[in-house]
Amino acid sequence: MSSTAGQVIKCKAAVAWEPGKPLVIEEVEVAPPQKTEVRLKILFTSLCHTDVYFWEAKAQDSVFPRILGHEAAGIVESVGEGVTELAPGDHVLPVFTGECGECAHCKSEESNMCSLLRINTERGVMLNDGKTRFSINGKPIYHFVGTSTFSEYTVVHAGCVAKINPLAPLDKVCVLSCGISTGLGATLNVAKPTKGSSVAVFGLGAVGLAAAEGARLAGASRIIGVDLNPARFEEAKKFGVTEFVNPKDYDKPVQEVIAEMTDGGVDRSVECTGNVNAMISAFECVHDGWGVAVLVGVPHKDAVFKTHPMNFLNERTLKGTFYGNYKPRSDLPSVVEMYMKKELEVEKFITHEVGFKEINKAFELMLKGEGLRCIIRME
């Protein structure tokens, strides 16, 4: 066991004290892990749009002060009571959702939506006792989606930790703990395009490009990228995108444009924007008889999806997906192995890197729409 096991650790963390204000590097106290929990030393974390969304707190209630961050990689420092599948020194990816292994979802081969550990953006405390493991001078600092990786040490439920190959470079595979796996799995696990098929991807951010990468790995012959920002088109070629459509260039719905390009529609589509109109277009652009559309983006809470029922009766399929249908503990290690075997390139998703003290620069880059993923080095 490590010399710090069972003790409070003092370390640096980037604290969000209030919505939209720069994070402040503070010294925090991190309590030892309790039953079913592990304490991790975070080595690399990256910024995902979800962190920015809840930091801005424009569309939902958000808990402050809190430590954001959920896309990361690190090493187990110590484990709490009852944790047998993880040990100090293990290389791991913490994940915003989990796999308890006991609920109906975890026992189902079809679902990855664990009843116990499914993402909860409003809960700022640990499940075990309803308290935080972070504090400053006795004042609680709240958790974020069960991970809070913008801290040198964090405490996470063991079911939200994937043990990975210790040879995998943590500064690269950290991006597999959220967005990249979400887009990749949406295509490979849910859309399941066949070799030689056509795929349309709506939204060419990091998740959309990961969906395109999945289509490339599946052997799709045509991968059509749909985005309102023409600057993204050149970058998308690296991810297998063969053609580009900017809806603003046409005076008719983009689904009609795609149907004309593809002799009736694409075989598969993956929607990664969260815009409900893009969702409708993604569904209506797939071919009748066999077309499958997969929704990945999270819509506004008041959004309503409208389409004519004949689109279903004409044998188009609409599916949704959560985290690319990956079970974190069971499936993420194999995604890391795809990278280790050079089947999956994650380097092309990493466009920037900053030190922990410069974490606010990562937020600035994302707010400007520059780059895909910014790695934050914790040391």
Residues taking part in catalysis = 48-50, 70-71, 100, 103, 106, 114, 118, 178, 373
CA distance 115 to 255: 36
Contacts of residue 268, Cβ cutoff 8 Å, sequence gap at least 6: 187, 191, 192, 193, 197, 198, 199, 200, 215, 220, 286, 291, 292, 293, 294
Q: Give, for 352, the enclosing helix (H) or strand (E).
A: strand 350-355
Best CA proximity match to 271, nearest among 359, 205, 333, 219? 205
Buried b (16+ CB within 10 A) or exposed e, 121-151: beebebbbeeebbbeeeeeebbbbbbbbbbb
Q: Give, for 282, the enclosing helix (H) or strand (E).
A: helix 276-284
Best CA proximity match to 228, nearest among 204, 194, 196, 253? 204
CA distances from 61 to 21, 39, 260, 287 (A): 16, 27, 43, 40
